[in-house]
């Protein structure tokens, strides 16, 4: 198999970005299902809140695709590349699940998804260039923050929206597993300023994606 040239890598990255942002997605795992789906009990306000929260979660998955593919692209470690690509495939399930749920709720994805993807891809490239231990540390911090974010969404989602809650709960469990795997692979903790900056950027994205 011939080694990919920088142009090959750029073309592949552009293709991945376009498919993430503009294509529909299929999950490799079934959509998490609650014991019951009492959709008729959702009020208009409940649907609007659930759709806004699931739109934020969808943006998070768009960013996850960008981060993981950029991190995999910028590392020369085959084992780490394989780990990152495997995590990205699981995140594709999340992307498909949130898309599906948004459609069921009558919601829409964020208009700013191209911007979110581009920004996250750039951050992922920087993390990858910083070395494997930092690359893994960035993955751990990202997943821990997302895990906390999803736990907060479980508190905010309407109690009767069992379908959305089942999806978010499975996503939270997957993110925790990705973080554990990265820690076991030799991640180094990020310095406090980097963690604070990541939290600030995530908060800005969350507040914006909730509405746009």
Tokens of 47: 């649907």
The per-residue pLDDT for 93 is: 92
Question: Does 5 map to a domain?
Answer: no
Convert 79-131 into a string of H (helix), E (strand) and C (coil): HHHHHHHHHHHHHHHHHHHHHHHHHHHCCCCCCCHHHHHHHHHHHHHHHHHCC
On whether residue 80 sits in a domain, the answer given is yes
Query: How high is the pLDDT of residue 50?
Result: 95
Mean pLDDT check: name the lowest of 13-27, 64-78, 171-185: 13-27
CATH code where residue 151 lies = 1.20.1260.10
Predicted confidence band of residue 10 (pLDDT cuts 50, 70, 90)? low
The CA-CA-CA angle for residues 78, 16, 32, to 5°, reads: 90
User: Per the domain annotation, does 158 fall within a domain?
Assistant: yes
Domain membership of residue 13 (yes or no) is no
CB–CB of 50/103 below 8 Å? no
Q: For the segment 79-106, what is each residue's pLDDT rounded down to a tens digit?
A: 888 888 888 888 889 999 999 999 999 9
Q: Is residue 67 part of a domain?
A: yes
Number of domains in the chain: 1
Mean pLDDT of the chain: 85
For the chain, what percent of residues have pLDDT higher than 70? Answer: 90
Residue 1 has pLDDT above 50, yes or no: no
In this predicted structure, the answer to whether residue 173 has a pLDDT above a threshold of 50 is yes
pLDDT number for residue 158: 93
Query: CB atoms < 10 A from the CB of 4, how many?
Result: 12
Closest CA to 110 of 207, 30, 37, 18: 207
CB of 162 within 8 A of CB of 42?
no
Please report the pLDDT score of residue 52 as a whole number: 94
Long-range contacts, 78-86 (Cβ 8 Å, 24+): 79/185, 80/132, 80/135, 80/136, 80/185, 83/181, 83/182, 83/185, 84/139
> For residue 149, is it within any domain?
yes
pLDDT confidence of residue 67:
85
- How would residue 74 be classed by pLDDT, with cut points 50, 70 and 90? confident
- Residue 39 scores a pLDDT above 60: no
Please report the pLDDT score of residue 9 as a whole number: 62
Whole-angstrom Cα distance, residue 197 to residue 68?
Answer: 19
In a domain, 160, yes or no: yes
Q: Rounded to whole angstroms, what are the CA distances from 90 to 35, 78, 159? A: 23, 19, 26
Can you tell me the distance from the alpha carbon of 13 to that of 73, in angstroms, rounded to the nearest whole number?
Answer: 8
At 42-58, the pLDDT tens digits run 899 999 999 999 999 99
Residue 11 lies inside a defined structural domain of this protein: no
pLDDT digits (tens, 9 = 90+) for 107-147: 999 999 998 888 888 888 888 888 888 888 888 888 899 89
Determine the pLDDT at residue 90.
83
- Per the structure, the complete domain to which residue 97 belongs is given by 42-209
pLDDT in the model for residue 13 = 67
């Amino acid at each position: 198999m011939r080694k990919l040239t920088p142009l090959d890598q750029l073309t592949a990255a552009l293709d991945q970005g376009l498919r993430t942002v503009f294509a529909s997605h299929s999950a490799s795992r079934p959509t998490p299902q609650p014991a019951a789906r009492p959709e008729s009990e959702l009020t208009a306000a409940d649907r609007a809140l659930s759709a806004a929260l699931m739109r934020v979660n969808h943006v998070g998955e768009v960013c996850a695709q960008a981060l993981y593919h950029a991190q995999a692209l910028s590392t020369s470690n085959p084992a780490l590349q394989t780990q990152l690509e495997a995590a990205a495939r699981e995140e594709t399930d999340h992307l498909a699940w949130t898309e599906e749920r948004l459609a069921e709720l009558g919601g829409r994805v964020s208009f700013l998804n191209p911007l979110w993807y581009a920004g996250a891809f750039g951050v992922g490239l920087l993390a990858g260039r910083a070395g494997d231990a930092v690359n893994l540390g960035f993955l751990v911090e990202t997943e821990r923050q997302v895990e906390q974010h999803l736990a907060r969404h479980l508190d905010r989602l309407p109690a009767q929206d069992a379908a959305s809650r089942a999806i978010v709960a499975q996503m939270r469990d997957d993110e925790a597993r990705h973080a554990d795997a990265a820690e076991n692979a030799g991640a180094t903790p990020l310095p406090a300023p980097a963690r604070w900056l990541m939290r600030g950027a995530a908060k800005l994205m969350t507040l914006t994606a909730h509405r746009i």
